[in-house]
């Protein structure tokens, strides 16, 4: 037997509806914020990620899936979405469009050779958004609000927005000097990864999960304390905008994020849900004003974020009070040869009217037909026999109440619609997906 590759997973039919609901929420909120979807290839030339993400990052050093294609080109399965979006913006000259800033979002598979664990896989799905073309602090606040609105729409309300600023190139250079000077006599007191990062990218030392509480890092200089006037003004305006829309946040001076391209605003959103374990972060992002230029495009300010969708689903399960049982609207039971074709015709018409319908395809006895109906959990059993066909009526059994009615065939669709509304409004939980109100 051939098994799936380690670090991958199958989305089985009983789980696919959860993914569809999540994707629908993302699509709906994105539309509200006027972000448009972009889709990029799942593999790119390796140089895109080496230049974009950064040679010194753990992603590039340890985690990318690289291979040579049949033409001898070095190719990488995309480990994150931003570099691919920026490549597409440059290649298709989207930065020249009149409607600015560009507000784009994406969903798709990413690939990293990580140690598989709960919510983290080697092939995983990521949802992200990018706003390119504006350096306004208001678009930083917009991006943070957009990310938090996604969580709110998924009923994940106990969240903490953590925010910091790394400053622009000038501020970052000054800060790096101070940090290196501070760490030099203390670096051996930190973990091996920190010692490597100290040589390659000192800012990443602050991102260490092992030594987060180590006094050496607790007392280290912070980027926020070395912002020049321009960068300080930008950060203050972001904070002011968050206050204006009443988003609660904390300033985390140690927050740096794990990718080299970040400048100025960086943020993460943690969710206080038990199923996530110790790692509570659901979304991270920030500003990356130099990335477009570094990939041979024009100087273009930009800001964005990304969610790991598997972790998002884990968080959703924790806050759902009760997951509604999978259901269909109608299950058709035909009794007799003459009724079968008419029953298929009725099912087809109901489907065209938007109702979820299924049929007994095994020609079981009546007991077997009802047993199959129980497994599918229909709101209605539709029973059509030879006598009903002759009278142009059909028996409709409302499974929740057991009430059965004979309904004229020409009035069946409207009867079902009215009944669905009545059943849903009697015990609506807000997520039944079967009434206009929901």
**Mean pLDDT calculated for residue range 369-378:** 88
Instruction: Considering only residues 436 and 176, tell me which one the structure prediction assigns the higher pLDDT.
Output: 176
Is there a contact between 357 and 347 (Cβ–Cβ < 8 Å)? yes
Q: What gap in Å lies between CA 376 and CA 355, rounded to an integer? A: 14
Return the SS3 of 329: strand
Q: Which CATH class is domain 332-426?
A: alpha beta
By C-alpha distance, which of 78, 95, 127, 139 is closest to 287?
139
pLDDT in tens, 298-308: 999 999 999 99
pLDDT for 438: 36
State percent of the chain over pLDDT 90.
58
pLDDT for 341: 87
Q: DSSP secondary-structure letter at 290? A: T
Q: How confident is the model at residue 326 (pLDDT cuts 50, 70, 90)?
A: confident
Q: How confident is the model at residue 370 (pLDDT cuts 50, 70, 90)?
A: confident
pLDDT for 255: 87
pLDDT in tens, 2-36: 999 999 999 998 889 899 999 999 999 999 999 99
Q: How confident is the model at residue 322 (pLDDT cuts 50, 70, 90)?
A: very low
pLDDT for 409: 93
Return the SS3 of 267: strand
Sorted by where each begins, the domain ranges of the chain are: 13-167+227-319, 332-426
pLDDT in tens, 93-146: 999 988 899 999 999 999 999 888 877 899 999 999 999 999 999 999 999 999
Instruction: Considering only residues 346 and 280, tell me which one the structure prediction assigns the higher pLDDT.
Output: 346
pLDDT for 194: 85
Cα separations in angstroms, 426 against 34, 62, 323, 402, 436 = 35, 55, 18, 16, 13
pLDDT for 228: 95
Q: What is the mean pLDDT of the chain?
A: 88
By C-alpha distance, which of 375, 331, 334, 339 is closest to 356?
331
Residue 212 predicted with pLDDT over 80: no
Q: How confident is the model at residue 257 (pLDDT cuts 50, 70, 90)?
A: confident
Topology given in CATH for the domain delimited by 13-167+227-319: BirA Bifunctional Protein; domain 2 (3.30.930)
The owner of tokens 């259901």 is: 327
**Mean pLDDT calculated for residue range 362-383:** 87
**Cα 304–Cα 305–Cα 308 angle in degrees, nearest 5:** 155
pTM beyond cutoff 0.85: no
Residue 191 predicted with pLDDT over 50: yes
Q: What gap in Å lies between CA 273 and CA 280, rounded to an integer? A: 8
Is there a contact between 262 and 249 (Cβ–Cβ < 8 Å)? no
Q: How confident is the model at residue 272 (pLDDT cuts 50, 70, 90)?
A: confident
């Amino acid at each position: 037997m051939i098994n799936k590759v380690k670090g991958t997973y199958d989305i089985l039919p009983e789980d696919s509806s959860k993914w569809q609901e999540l994707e629908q929420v993302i699509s709906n909120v994105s539309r509200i914020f006027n972000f448009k979807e972009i889709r990029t290839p799942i593999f790119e030339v390796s140089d895109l990620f080496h230049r974009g993400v950064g040679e010194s990052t753990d992603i590039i050093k340890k985690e990318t899936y690289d291979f040579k294609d049949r033409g001898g080109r070095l190719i990488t399965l995309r480990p994150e979405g931003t570099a691919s979006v920026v490549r597409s913006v440059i290649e298709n000259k989207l930065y020249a469009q009149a409607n600015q800033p560009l507000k784009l979002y994406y969903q798709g598979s990413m690939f990293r050779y990580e140690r598989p664990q709960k919510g983290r896989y080697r092939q995983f799905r990521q949802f992200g958004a990018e706003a390119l073309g504006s350096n306004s602090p208001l678009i930083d606040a917009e991006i943070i609000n957009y990310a938090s609105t996604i969580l709110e729409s998924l009923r994940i309300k106990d969240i903490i927005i953590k925010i910091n600023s790394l400053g622009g190139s000038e501020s970052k250079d000054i800060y790096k000097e101070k940090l290196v000077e501070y760490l030099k006599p203390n670096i051996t007191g930190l973990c091996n990864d920190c010692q490597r990062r100290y040589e390659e990218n000192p800012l990443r030392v602050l991102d260490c999960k092992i030594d987060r509480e180590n006094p050496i890092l607790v007392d280290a200089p912070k980027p926020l304390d070395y912002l020049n006037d321009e960068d300080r003004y930008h950060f203050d305006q972001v904070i002011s905008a968050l206050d204006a829309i009443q988003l609660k946040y904390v300033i985390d001076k140690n927050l740096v994020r794990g990718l080299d391209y970040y400048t100025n605003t960086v943020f993460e959103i943690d969710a206080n849900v038990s199923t996530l374990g110790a790692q509570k972060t659901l979304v991270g992002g920030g500003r990356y004003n130099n990335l477009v230029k570094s990939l041979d495009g024009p100087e273009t300010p930009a800001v964005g974020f990304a969610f790991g969708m598997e972790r998002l689903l884990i968080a959703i399960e924790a806050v759902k009070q009760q997951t509604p049982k999978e259901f269909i609207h109608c299950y058709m039971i035909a009794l007799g040869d003459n009724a079968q074709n008419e029953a298929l015709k009725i099912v087809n018409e109901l489907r065209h009217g938007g109702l979820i319908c299924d049929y007994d395809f095994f020609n079981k006895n009546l007991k077997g037909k009802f047993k199959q109906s129980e497994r599918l959990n229909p709101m209605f059993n539709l029973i059509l026999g030879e006598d009903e066909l002759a009278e142009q009526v059909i028996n409709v059994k409302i499974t929740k109440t057991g009430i059965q009615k004979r309904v004229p065939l020409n009035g069946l669709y409207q009867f079902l619609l009215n009944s669905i509304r009545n059943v849903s409004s009697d015990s609506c939980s807000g997520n039944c997906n079967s009434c206009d109100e929901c």
